[in-house]
Amino acid sequence: KSVHDLKRATGLLARFDSTMEGVKDDTFLAAYLLDPNRSKYDLTDLAREAINYSDGATAPSNWPASAWDTATAADLTAQTAKVLHERILEKNLETIYSEVELPLAPLLYEMEKAGLKVDPRVLADLSSYIGQELHNLTLKVYQFAGREFNIGSPKQVGEVLGELNINSNRKTSTGRVSTSKAVLEELAQTFELPRLIIEYRELDKLKSVYTDALPQQISSDGRIHCQLNQTVAATGRLSSSEPNLQNIPIRSDLGRRIRRAFVA
């Protein structure tokens, strides 16, 4: 059989207690192996490139539109799969295609279904701790700035730095004073306020993106069911999304403490 996106097909059929076997080609995975830098792998785009497909045919009067679309997709998949498999063979990618990527796709669906167990108490304790640290940092920032302002606003941060003559003379595309991390790190070598703002931003991100957000994404079974993607990273590694669990910092102590919330 040939399919387009084996992992998705596995999940759709699982709703009907049906298991698909005998899959020899996945146009989605084949196209990724041949060109891992593409941003998307739509079947119609692949068919245009592989078999010069032109999307202009309309369904015959006696065909329901959904049935026609299904038949068309099946035909395109079969024809495109043949061409892509030939290219896989030409580039000596058969082993990784047939023995690694294809068998992995249904397994990833099972991993998504199983999910990752998370201890919400660890995240709740960390959220409270980071909240107190942010409060203390806020007071320090206000003390150095000489007034209160929204530390999360790049515009207001730029205004405060300008008032204190802490300036890198770098501007954004809109003409505002730049407060990017690179600029603040440069200024932090001389001034304490930019260093505190960097620290505030990092803690605020950990709290909003992880310790506050992750508990909201834990399902009733106590697990987070993120998507595991085979065809996103150009390096060939897996990536995760909804939520992305691979950006949790590992070099910082707080990042490591967030990771401890995940139960092996």
Q: Are 97 and 37 in contact (CB under 8 A)?
A: no
pLDDT, tens only, 146-176 = 999 999 999 999 899 988 988 777 766 666 7
pLDDT, tens only, 186-219 = 889 999 999 999 999 999 999 999 999 999 999 9
Residue-wise DSSP of 167-196: ----B-TTSPBP--HHHHHHHHTT-HHHHH
How far apart are alpha carbons 137 and 234 in whole angstroms? Answer: 39
pLDDT, tens only, 55-64 = 777 888 899 9
Q: Are 2 and 26 in contact (CB under 8 A)?
A: yes
Token pair listed for 73: 């997709």
Q: What is the pLDDT of residue 174?
A: 66
Residue 81 pLDDT > 70:
yes
Q: What is the pLDDT of residue 54?
A: 84
Q: What is the pLDDT of residue 162?
A: 87
Which run of H or E residues covers position 78? Answer: helix 65-90
How far apart are alpha carbons 131 and 20 in whole angstroms? Answer: 49
Query: If you average pLDDT over residues 251-256, what whole number do you get?
Result: 90
Q: Which of 187, 156, 155, 160 is nearest to 172 (CA)?
A: 155
Of 93 and 65, the one with more pLDDT: 93
Q: What is the pLDDT of residue 172?
A: 67
Counting every residue, how long is the chain? 264
pTM of the model: 0.80
CA geometry: angle 163, 168, 170, nearest 5 deg: 105
Q: What is the 8-class DSSP label of residue 207?
A: I
